Amino acid sequence: TRVLLDNYVPSGRAKLSDFKIVQAPAPTKDQLGENEVILRPLYYSVDPYQRNRISGAMPGYTENFKKGDPISNYLVGTIVASTSADFQEGDLVLHNDGNWETEYITKASAISKAPAQQGIDPKDYVGVLSMPSFTAYVGATILAEPKAGETILVSSASGAVGQMVVQLSKVRGLRVVGVAGSDDKVEYLKSIGADAAFNYKTCGDFDAAIKQAAPEGIDIYFDNVGGEFLDAALANINYYARIIICGAITQYNLSSPEERYGVKNITNVLLKKAKVQGYIISSYYNTPIREGFIEQVSKLYHEGKITYRLTEAEGLENGVQAILDLFDGKNFGKSIVKA
């Protein structure tokens, strides 16, 4: 099975029909060139930025998928055959940009061995040790310069990035305010340690809801959504606040540039001497920070000090729907597809 991009979608929502699922024969050993492997994915990661990669025009940080080619993303899989001295049949490997395909050929230089960690299953490499979990770690524990006792506000807080921001912030002694789009998600946030949480779909006025949940003001705002909620957060920052711009999911499916939300409270950054920091996680992949993340988060997870909720689809043929579901909040926790 292969999932191909059939149409670019420059604006608005993508549909199932923008993709094509086809059957193709599996690659064979004799098709391998030098230093290549046949990789069989076990779990595929499903992430909002895949929407940006089908826009056809994203002036961005990741390449567009090519029309007619398999779409791709971070995945964990096993080696079926190899002509590389570095990989043997049966090795568990990670591919940052692996094909949505039952088996495929890739260069050995594009993959890495999954680091062995106690109590970590293959699934955890697209779960608690996934790219978004690492994104949370970099944003919330390094860039945000958190100090115990401070208050952090997190949007899309029950998602792949958000749930890790909440828990890593609690571990560091912060007061955590989480925001999510359903009452179940709000309950989950409280169960993983959020001191206050609210449903942004039913809370009414964002500004009033933030003031109620964080009467002491916000020292760190971890932004996954952009738009109107970012504006309301800016209205509630304290002196020397840090605003971490991780994502802007409210802005990914707009039908025209005119619909982009114009932030009104940016002057508050000046008045409050605050810092606004954006970042792209791939810049941190080959750094010691990633090793620190794997070590610390595996340990916390193994000791039961953090948890990581997944929404798991079965079968690659259901993968595209899982991408589309992210934009309706149908995922609860990190979205993945089991091969």
Positions that interact with ligand NDP (CB under 6 A): 47-49, 132, 135, 156, 158-162, 180-182, 185, 224-225, 246-250, 279-281, 326-327, 329, 331
Q: How far is the CB of 287 from ligand NDP (least distance, A)?
A: 14
> Least Å distance between CB 220 and ligand NDP?
15
Residue 201 sits at φ, ψ, to 5 deg, of -80, -20
Whole-Å CA distances, 144 to 129, 149, 222, 275 = 20, 14, 8, 9
36 vs 195, beta carbon nearer ligand NDP: 195
Give 47 or 124: the residue with its C-beta nearer to ligand NDP. Answer: 47
Give me the least distance between CB of 248 and ligand NDP, in Å please. Answer: 6
Minimum gap (Å) between residue 322 Cβ and ligand NDP:
11
Tell me how many degrees the CA angle 147-148-154 measures, rounded to the nearest 5: 75
The least CB distance from residue 79 to ligand NDP, in Å, is 27
What residues pair up with 19 in beta bridges, in sequence order?
5
Output 32 or 235, the one with its CB closest to ligand NDP.
235
Let me know if 229 is exposed, middle or buried by CB neighbors in 10 A (0-12, 13-18, 19+).
buried
CB of residue 73 vs ligand NDP: minimum separation in angstroms?
Answer: 11
Task: Give burial (CB, 10 Å; 0-12/13-18/19+) of 187.
Answer: middle
Exposed (0-12), middle (13-18) or buried (19+): which is 271, by Cβ within 10 Å? exposed
Give the residues across from 3 on adjacent strands.
21
Smallest distance, Å, CB 164 to ligand NDP?
8
CB-nearer residue toward ligand NDP: 37 or 71: 71
The rounded distance, in Å, linking the Cα atoms of 305 and 301 is 6
Could you tell me the smallest distance in angstroms from the CB atom of residue 252 to ligand NDP?
A: 7
What is the spatial distance between Cα 251 and Cα 31, in angstroms, rounded to a whole number?
43
- In the bound state with ligand NDP, the residue whose beta carbon lies nearer, of 239 and 285, is 285
Query: By C-beta, is 39 or 186 nearer to ligand NDP?
Result: 186
What is the C-alpha to C-alpha distance for residues 242 and 239, in angstroms, rounded to an integer? 9
For residue 28, what are the contacts with CB-CB under 8 A and spacing of at least 6? none
User: Closer CB to ligand NDP, residue 63 or residue 216?
Assistant: 63
DSSP string, 237-271: EEEEEEEEE---GGGTT-SSGGGS---S-THHHHH
Q: 40 by DSSP, 3-state: which? A: strand
| Residue closer to ligand NDP (CB basis): 81 or 243 | 243
